[in-house]
Amino acid sequence: MKGKVVAYHGIQSFKPGEVTPLEAFEIGKETARRMWGDKYQVLVTVHLNTQSTHCHFIVNPCSFKDGQKFKNKIGDHLELRKVSDEVCREYGKSVLENSNFYSKGKKKEYWVRHNGQMTHSDMIKEDVEYALQFSESTDDVYRYLKSIGYTINDDRKHLTIMAIGWRRPVRMDTLGFTREYLNKRLNENYNDPDISYFKRRYPPYKPKAFPLLYEMEELKFTIEHSHSIGKIYVALLFLVIIITFELLHEIKEEMLLSVQLRHEERDLKQYISDYHFMRNNDIETLEDLYNDVQRTKTEISKLEQQRIKSDNKRRRAKTPGDINIYKEKRKEITKQITPLRKRLKQAEKIWNKSPHLLELVKQEQSLEIQAKQKIKMKEWSR
């Protein structure tokens, strides 16, 4: 079988204590039969290494009937969920009712979580939960959130959260923070005898170090390069962001003041990959990047023309030997095109996101300068 995917993996988990290993195996086999069994080979195993007994499905993506390859799309995930629930109900076992496994309009969020990352909403939730840990009142919550870059707006109808650079505010209730939930948490904290200690131990955030300004100075990166788009040192821009994030891992008590730039840390691995791509291809500025994109497009176009000519000759060929020669030539040309398309895709992605990242760096620089000046003003007033 050709292709990089040699198998697909699925999991079917049961409520703790509700099934025996044998029952789990029978349910798993029946689920596999209904989902894949008439067309694909499936290995079903039962694992007991967690509190919840669960089945693992290993699916051979190449059909033993017609050789057709299993695609593993979102619809297949939903179908597996549906089949699993049907079988479990037939065996009298529990299922998760009305859970948002995947819904229309949330495809991006689904795959972000599927890859082990946090979505934009997840990060906001984490910050609100941080504020709630040490708050006895809504004023406390607003104070904590303001210290890490957010503003809260209460228009009586909806409670919303906002940060610099966002196009629109986010409703708190869509994140699970309804007024009832917030009041419940705040009342619990108010009646907690240890809350005063925690509020003193973890006061609202006040920056003492300025990681982005420090790295910009160390790497001699200045925003002035942005006056001419071609002169943006895009490789250096990525390096500033990468090293800043890495520095923050070392000084864990410090954070970036820009919520948007702080949230970009989830893409750190991609930024590192993009930076190495630029260094390996001698790309320093956006002008270099633009030229690289144009050269790559030209190379791809030339090769595609060669492939078209080869296809035309293959169609006119009269002997099997000649047909095979042109088929092999086409394959060789395709092998040359594939890495060029991959290179073009990465270069265009860097080109498209660089202006946005520059704006976020400007935003963080401005916030850090303001915070630094406040500290100096306090020192002078003493």
* Amino acid at the residue 361: V
Q: Are residues 363 and 220 in the same domain?
A: yes
Any domain includes 111? no
pLDDT computed for residue 230 by the predictor: 59
Q: Is the C-alpha dihedral spanning 229, 234, 236, 242 positive or negative?
A: positive
3-state secondary structure of 20: coil
Largest CA distance in the chain: 94
Q: Are residues 268 and 187 in the same domain?
A: no
pLDDT computed for residue 347 by the predictor: 96
Q: Are residues 178 and 63 in the same domain?
A: no
Q: Are residues 128 and 37 in the same domain?
A: no
CA angle 160, 165, 167 (to 5 degrees): 60
Q: Round to whole Å and give the CA distance between 202 and 134.
A: 7
Any domain includes 134? yes
Q: Are residues 278 and 344 in the same domain?
A: yes
Q: Are residues 98 and 237 in the same domain?
A: no
Query: Domain boundary residue among 201, 216, 248?
Result: 201
| Other beta carbons within 10 Å of 292 | 21
Question: Which positions ≥6 away from 281 have C-beta within 8 Å?
Answer: 292, 343
pLDDT digits (tens, 9 = 90+) for 293-329: 999 999 999 999 999 999 999 999 989 999 999 999 9
The DSSP code for 62 is B
Any domain includes 115? no
Q: H helices then E strands: how many in the chain? A: 13, 6
pLDDT computed for residue 380 by the predictor: 78
Residue 257: which domain range? Answer: 207-382
Q: Are residues 172 and 293 in the same domain?
A: no
Any domain includes 2? no
Any domain includes 109? no
Any domain includes 164? yes
pLDDT computed for residue 250 by the predictor: 82
Any domain includes 345? yes
Q: Are residues 214 and 132 in the same domain?
A: no
pLDDT computed for residue 306 by the predictor: 95
pLDDT computed for residue 75 by the predictor: 65
Any domain includes 241? yes
Q: Are residues 242 and 353 in the same domain?
A: yes
Q: Are 81 and 97 in contact (CB under 8 A)?
A: no
Q: Are residues 152 and 50 in the same domain?
A: no
CATH number of 24's domain: 3.30.930.30
Q: Are residues 372 and 301 in the same domain?
A: yes
Q: Are residues 138 and 15 in the same domain?
A: no
Q: Round to whole Å and give the CA distance between 147 and 109.
A: 27
Q: Each residue's pLDDT tens digit in the chain (382 positions)?
A: 456 778 888 888 888 788 999 999 999 999 999 998 888 999 999 998 776 789 999 999 888 888 888 877 666 777 888 899 999 999 988 887 655 555 555 666 666 666 667 788 889 998 999 899 889 999 999 999 999 999 999 877 889 999 998 989 999 998 889 999 999 999 999 999 988 888 888 899 999 889 999 999 998 888 765 555 556 789 999 999 999 999 888 877 889 999 999 999 888 999 999 999 999 999 999 899 999 999 999 999 999 999 999 999 999 998 999 999 999 999 999 999 999 999 999 999 999 999 899 999 999 999 999 999 988 887 776 6
Count of domains forming the chain? 3
pLDDT computed for residue 30 by the predictor: 94
Query: Domain boundary residue among 185, 201, 217?
Result: 201
Query: Domain boundary residue among 48, 69, 102?
Result: 102
Q: Quickly tell me which residue has 């923050």 as its tokens.
A: 248
Tokens of 242: 């990468």
The DSSP code for 284 is -
Strand partners, 153: 160
